[in-house]
Amino acid sequence: MDIIRVHGGRSIGGKVHVSGAKNSALKLMAATLLAPGATTLTNVPNISDVHVMGKVLKGMGATIEVADEHTLVIDTSTVDSWEAPYGLVAKMRASTAVMGPLLGRFGRAKIAMPGGCNLGARKIDMHILGLEALGVSFDTDHGYIYANAEHGMTGSLVSLEFASVGATENLIMAAVRANGTTTIDNAAREPEIVDLANMLNEMGAKVTGAGTPVVTIEGVEELHPVTHQVIGDRIEAGTFIVAGALAADDHGLEVTGFNPHHLGMVIKKLELMGVRCERTEDGLRVWRAPHLRPVDIQTLPFPGFPTDMQAQIMILNALADGVSVITENIFENRFMFASELQRMGANIRIESHHAIVHGVPALSGAQVVSPDLRGGAALVVAGLVAEGTTEVSAIHHIDRGYERFCEKLTAIGARVERDAIPDPEED
């Protein structure tokens, strides 16, 4: 059982480069199913979720060449199965992203019910309702979803009840091979969706409006393989920016490899808290805030404040001079992180989907458990400024989305180590 041990009280500084976006790379990998042949993806993060998606594609007949640590050549010309392997898909919710491409290529798909972080219901009702509007029929049985469009899909107007990222992506990937024109109303606007649409258009698709609430897709006969670079991971960038706001030295911490426009609301809130941020050519420089002001947050779909940055901002509010309220509107279980931060001395009260945070002078090192991907990384960041030593366990969650997290922190001056400890259940 691996843990991350963090020794608090050290300043950080210099430069840290973020990896490619997890939430983009996974969907781009799924999209390669639409274009038989070898598609090359560059700037792919070397993380466990990407490894799982690679196994999903291989399980359906694809071959994957690892050209270098961050470049994958995915050849889908030999894919002959429209069934995603149950054991892999159940591990990761992003695996539902293969549904749209399989429908586009084969007119059928068999997908396990999604897994991943325990953040709540994560219903895929909107995926199903949207695809039904294109003429897809569905059946569920024994943990599987069966989708059938053997007679082809027909473009239609799809109005999403909520601006769901996954539903928007699945609909776009299915609609590129539908007959006629599909319009998605109330589409999600996340940068990762723009990245997906850009790659599909490079493949020969006709997608317009990505990044706006109305996306239009004109179906095409076929798509061809391309070479495409994954965008930088804005959430990894935001995690390091919060680390800099807590612990950067007088020269600041420069976070590179991402587009600061993708973190507009996060940067705005940090500046309101008293954090000095300066945009650079390839990212952002941030300095430690000597006095943090509390600021209220509510998570919303892009361009609102991202739910994936809620745990990180909670650390800043926990050390701010006053009271703040954090409202979680996306995932009902996201406050599991708060109870772990309380073990480090934070003063947080949960009321339904609100966290009332009373700032304290300091945090103390403690043994804590990573509740999910972002919460786990946030606990490591909290340990940077906690008094004493913090041990974070269940770090397999962190491995799902952060490449070489400990090494990157060590390189900017943090005292962080990864260690294997015996599992008490094996004694």
Q: Which residue in the list 89, 117, 131, 134 is annotated as catalytic? A: 117
Q: Which two tokens stand for residue 3?
A: 């843990």
* Distant-in-sequence, close-in-space partners of 341: CB < 8 Å, separation ≥ 6: 314, 315, 318, 348, 363, 368, 378, 379, 382
Q: Please check whether residue 175 is in contact with residue 167, taking contact to mean a CB–CB distance below 8 angstroms.
A: no
* Distant-in-sequence, close-in-space partners of 46: CB < 8 Å, separation ≥ 6: 19, 69, 70, 403, 404
Terminal C-alpha separation, the chain:
13
Give binding residues for phosphoenolpyruvate as ranges.
22-23
| Distance between CA atoms of residues 314 and 336, nearest Å | 12
Nearest to 318 by CA among 263, 246, 394, 414: 246
Give binding residues as ranges.
22-23, 93, 308, 330
Give binding residues for UDP-N-acetyl-alpha-D-glucosamine as ranges.
93, 308, 330
| Distance between CA atoms of residues 336 and 345, nearest Å | 15
| Distance between CA atoms of residues 321 and 316, nearest Å | 10
Is 117 a known active-site residue?
yes
Give the CA count within 13 Å in the CB-facing half-sphere of 268. 11
Residues assigned a catalytic role: 117
